[in-house]
Amino acid sequence: MNEFASLAKPSIVPPLHNGFAPASLAVREFLKAVEESGRGTDLVIALERSGGQISVYRTRCFEEGGGNDELNWQFAERLVKFLLWRSGGWRIIIGGPESIGRRIDVAYSPGGIRSWDADFMGKVYERPFTVEFTEPGKVPEPNEGTVALGGHLDGCRIGFDLGASDRKVSAVIDGETVYTEEVVWDPRNATDPDYHFNEINSALKAAAAKMPRVDAIGGSAAGIYVNNRPRAASLFRGVPSDLFESRIANLFLDLKKEWGNVPFEVVNDGEVTALAGAMTLKDGAVLGIALGSSEAGGYVTPTGEITTWLNELAFCPVDVNPDAPVDEWSGDYGCGVQYFSQQAVFRLASEARIEVDPTLGPAEKLKWVQSLLQAGNENARQIWKTIGIYLGYGIAHYANFYDLRHVLILGRVTSGEGGSIILNEARDVLGREFPELAEGIKLHLPDESSRRVGQAVAAASLPVIEKRE
């Protein structure tokens, strides 16, 4: 464990993870040490994405050359990683100690420890990924953008939600859900684009059969989507790159044509999670977290709008111990996907000495572990207690980057008794470790039906139906 991680000493230790070093605690103790040293300096990080939009984050670190350069680096490296996947960007500008800027540049260069992230962002924004460093006062000013999205419930609508282990669809007539369906599928291993087209189209047909007509279709899916076009998504990892660009990139545009060019909108599933919360709560400042095959995140601003940030919390670090579990895709440690998803359940099941049949698919594996929980298996209960403790410390860290009044959790991992266990443990962590946050942030767990298909219903509200004369 490095010096930065050693600052994180949780008073509530997850029963199945003794080495957990919450980022929220490490950051709090680091900033406290900087302030008490009397030798702090500004650290300003800007990230530029499409259309010249810029996010800026201001914090403090130790002065350069005072014996804390390595600790500064450990803090800054995890911070930049989080900000990159929260906001997105093709350019990072570091304003602060030159040693930090130079090491971030090396980390995100070819062959560097974060070259995967740099390559990913370069493809998303179709720009060469760059890192620059300067003085704090020379960092550009923020230029943020927000989008009014969703909340439209008129007419006959279809909403779908595409997860890695199941796909969900809802038929909604003037805001009333008349049909929902969940079907197990395996998109990540499908190499043929026709599989994806036919499976999604089948779901749409099932919902359409329950309504007199289809006025609009809205969908949510894991990944990054720009103008209804997938730019990066784990659902399509099995599709060869040439077929991705020729077929998957236009998948939803082709489906729109199939359905007579009705209004058709597809966005990241995390954004729809947050939208579902905002619609239910009739309030803003909502962070939605979907605990499914991966972790999806989305945010509705205090004024009720969606940001243009990526909010890909699956890649945002919440555990700063270098020996933390590693994400199989990015190769990085301590990221949310290993803490708030089915992957967390399976990893912790091993720690709880629960053997899961490797021949089962992800959805069946989760159901089996959940059946043990429902039957009163104490080892299974420790899995959800651990995830709940993760969540309490995780929310405290998310509060460093989001203005929060509400946190909503959804997804298959929260089904059944597990959701209540997670929420209770998270509330306990916030109350004992972060009382100032516990007073201002309310945690929410929707009812069982909304937990499982709420995203599909909210997705149905995405498109605007043009009024006919």
Q: Tell me, what CATH number does 237's domain have?
A: 3.30.420.40
Structural domain count of the chain = 3
Q: Is it the case that residue 292 has pLDDT exceeding 90?
A: no
Identify the pLDDT of residue 469.
45
CA-CA distance, 236 to 220, in Å (whole number)? 14
Higher local confidence (pLDDT), 271 or 201: 201
Looking at the structure, tell me whether residues 266 and 161 fall in a common domain: yes
CA-CA distance, 66 to 71, in Å (whole number)? 11
Looking at the structure, tell me whether residues 153 and 137 fall in a common domain: no
Identify the pLDDT of residue 280.
78
Looking at the structure, tell me whether residues 220 and 104 fall in a common domain: no
Q: Indicate the SS3 state at residue 284.
A: coil
AA identity, residue 382: Q
Cα dihedral across residues 307, 308, 313, 319: positive or negative: negative
Q: Is it the case that residue 450 has pLDDT exceeding 70?
A: no
Higher local confidence (pLDDT), 268 or 340: 340
Mean pLDDT to the nearest integer, 378-404: 98
For 324, which DSSP code?
A: S
Decide if 161 is inside a domain.
Answer: yes
Cα dihedral across residues 207, 208, 211, 214: positive or negative: positive
222 pLDDT tier (thresholds 50, 70, 90): confident
Looking at the structure, tell me whether residues 300 and 215 fall in a common domain: no
126 pLDDT tier (thresholds 50, 70, 90): confident
Identify the pLDDT of residue 467.
66
Contacts of 22 (CB under 8 A, 6+ apart): 8, 10, 318, 319, 320, 393, 394, 396, 397
Decide if 23 is inside a domain.
Answer: no
Q: Indicate the SS3 state at residue 316.
A: coil
Mean pLDDT to the nearest integer, 292-316: 90
Identify the pLDDT of residue 228.
87
Mean pLDDT to the nearest integer, 418-439: 97
CA-CA distance, 75 to 280, in Å (whole number)? 37
Decide if 179 is inside a domain.
Answer: yes
Looking at the structure, tell me whether residues 121 and 189 fall in a common domain: no
Looking at the structure, tell me whether residues 129 and 163 fall in a common domain: no
CA 100 to centroid of chain Cα atoms:
27
Looking at the structure, tell me whether residues 117 and 167 fall in a common domain: no
Burial (CB < 10 A; 0-12, 13-18, 19+), residue 424, is middle
Mean pLDDT to the nearest integer, 445-450: 67
Q: Is it the case that residue 401 has pLDDT exceeding 70?
A: yes
Decide if 11 is inside a domain.
Answer: no
Identify the pLDDT of residue 27.
98
Q: Please, are residues 214 and 262 in contact by the beta-carbon 8 Å criterion?
A: yes
Mean pLDDT to the nearest integer, 326-330: 91
Decide if 116 is inside a domain.
Answer: yes
Identify the pLDDT of residue 374.
97
CA-CA distance, 298 to 270, in Å (whole number)? 4
Last residue of a domain, one of 255, 271, 287: 271
Kindly state the percentage of the chain with pLDDT values over 70.
98
Residue 175's domain comprises 147-271
Residues constituting the chain = 469
Q: Is it the case that residue 351 has pLDDT exceeding 80?
A: yes
Tell me what the pLDDT averaged over the chain comes to. Answer: 93
Mean pLDDT to the nearest integer, 303-323: 92
Decide if 344 is inside a domain.
Answer: yes
Looking at the structure, tell me whether residues 189 and 329 fall in a common domain: no
205 pLDDT tier (thresholds 50, 70, 90): very high
Mean pLDDT to the nearest integer, 378-407: 98
Q: Is it the case that residue 129 has pLDDT exceeding 80?
A: yes
Q: Is it the case that residue 455 has pLDDT exceeding 90?
A: no
Contacts of 271 (CB under 8 A, 6+ apart): 149, 220, 288, 298, 299, 306, 311
Identify the pLDDT of residue 331.
95
Looking at the structure, tell me whether residues 155 and 132 fall in a common domain: no
Mean pLDDT to the nearest integer, 290-317: 90
Decide if 71 is inside a domain.
Answer: yes
Identify the pLDDT of residue 362.
87
Identify the pLDDT of residue 191.
95
Last residue of a domain, one of 251, 271, 291: 271
Q: Indicate the SS3 state at residue 222.
A: coil
Q: Please, are residues 150 and 461 in contact by the beta-carbon 8 Å criterion?
A: yes
Kindly state the percentage of the chain with pLDDT values over 90.
76
Query: What would you measure as the largest C-alpha separation in the chain, in angstroms?
Result: 71
CA-CA distance, 40 to 294, in Å (whole number)? 38
Looking at the structure, tell me whether residues 333 and 389 fall in a common domain: yes
CA-CA distance, 102 to 48, in Å (whole number)? 18
Helices (H), 186-340: 193-208, 241-246, 251-258, 269-281
Higher local confidence (pLDDT), 153 or 19: 19
Higher local confidence (pLDDT), 148 or 57: 57
Identify the pLDDT of residue 305.
83
| Closest of 79, 86, 81, 82 to residue 49, by C-alpha | 86
1 pLDDT tier (thresholds 50, 70, 90): confident
Looking at the structure, tell me whether residues 103 and 212 fall in a common domain: no
Decide if 167 is inside a domain.
Answer: yes
Greatest mean pLDDT among 38-42, 162-166, 179-183: 38-42
Identify the pLDDT of residue 306.
81
Identify the pLDDT of residue 448.
56
Looking at the structure, tell me whether residues 443 and 294 fall in a common domain: yes
Residue whose token pair is 């203005």: 403
Last residue of a domain, one of 224, 241, 271: 271
Q: Please, are residues 325 and 347 in contact by the beta-carbon 8 Å criterion?
A: yes
